[in-house]
Chains A and B, each alone.
Chain A
C-alpha cells in the first residue's frame, strides 16, 4: 500500500526514486525507476537525513524542515511527513519541484496513516 502511494511520485516526470526514511536515517520503504539503490547510496540517504536534521536542530524551534540538494543533473528533496518520518525524492533537474510538492501535499495524510 505504501509503495502504491510512493508510485504516484515515481510517475511524475523525471522522478527517479522515492524513499521513506526515519529521522534517525533508517530506511522504511523505497521504490525506484531508472536508477540503482546500492548500500552506499542508501547510506548516503541516511547521512542526508541525519545531517539535515542536525542542521535544522541548530535553528532551535524548527520542528519541520525541508532540504533540497542539487547536483548538475539530479537533485534530492527531503520533506517531512511527520516529525519522525521524511520523504526523500530523487529526481533529475528537469523534474518539476512544484509538482512534486503538490503531490506531497495530496498524499501526505495517506502516507502518514500507513507509517
Chain B
C-alpha cells in the first residue's frame, strides 16, 4: 500500500462517524402503514492499518448493516463512513476497487460454473489487468487448496471448499481492506479452524480486516479490538482482554445436568446476584452458565432450584470473552 494512502484523511484504514441507518417499510395493500426500523444508531469507531477489528453482536444487532455502509452498498441515513480516506457515499468506485468482501453463508457464488470461471469473472468486474488475472487466480487457488478441483462445478464442492472459494473471490483484487461477515457461520469446527488460520495469514501479509462474528472465541483468538453491538448501538469497544474486565468481578458457575427446563432458567434470572444466565438446553443434557460475584457461595441456591433435575457437574470458572459479551448484551 502506498504511503499516500495511509496519510489520506484521518490516517486510519476505516472510520465510522456517528453512523445511523433507518429502513422504511410499508405494510398492507389498501391501508398502507409505514414503519421505521432503526438498524444502526450512532455507531462510531476507527480501525488502524493492519489491524484485525471485530464486531460482535446477536442476530439483527446491526453488524451486517454497518459492514454494508462501510462497503458502499448502503448509504447511511446520517453520519459518515470513510475507507482508506475515501468517502463511502461519494467515492464509491475508489472504495470498491480497494476492498474485498466475503459475506458468510453458502450463497454468493455461481454454483453452475467452476471456481476458475467464478474467479475470472470477478477479476474482470474488479478491473484486474488480464496479464495479472491468470497468475492471481492460480495463486489464490493454490493458497486455498482448490487447484485440483478448480475446473469442477462449484455445486459439487463441500461447504468448506465453497468457503475457501468465497475467501479467494474476496481477495481477487488484492484488497488493502477485507470485510469478513461471519465467515465461519455454519461451518464445522475443522473448516472453521482452517478459515481462522487463513485470516491470520492475511493479517501477517499486512491486510486490514474487519470481521463480524457470533463466536466469541473466534473474536478472542483473532481480533486486536472488538466492538460489541446491541440493538444497533456499540455498547463496548476494547481489546478482548479489556472486555473481559467487564466481568472481572464475577465468576462463572457452569452446571451440567438433565431435566433442566426454561422454567428453572427463568428462576435463575430472578436471582439478584446472578448478572447473566446462558443456557444450552439440549435433549441429552443441559448446560447452564451463571455469572455471579458470589462464586461458589451460590451453589446451594443452584442445587435448591435444580432439586427436581439431575446435576452431573458444577464448576466454578474464570469468565471468558463470551461471558463478558453475554453480560454486555443482557445488561
Specify whether A and B are partners.
no
Q: Which residues of B contact A (CB under 8 A)?
A: none
* Chain A residues engaging chain B, CB cutoff 8 angstroms: none
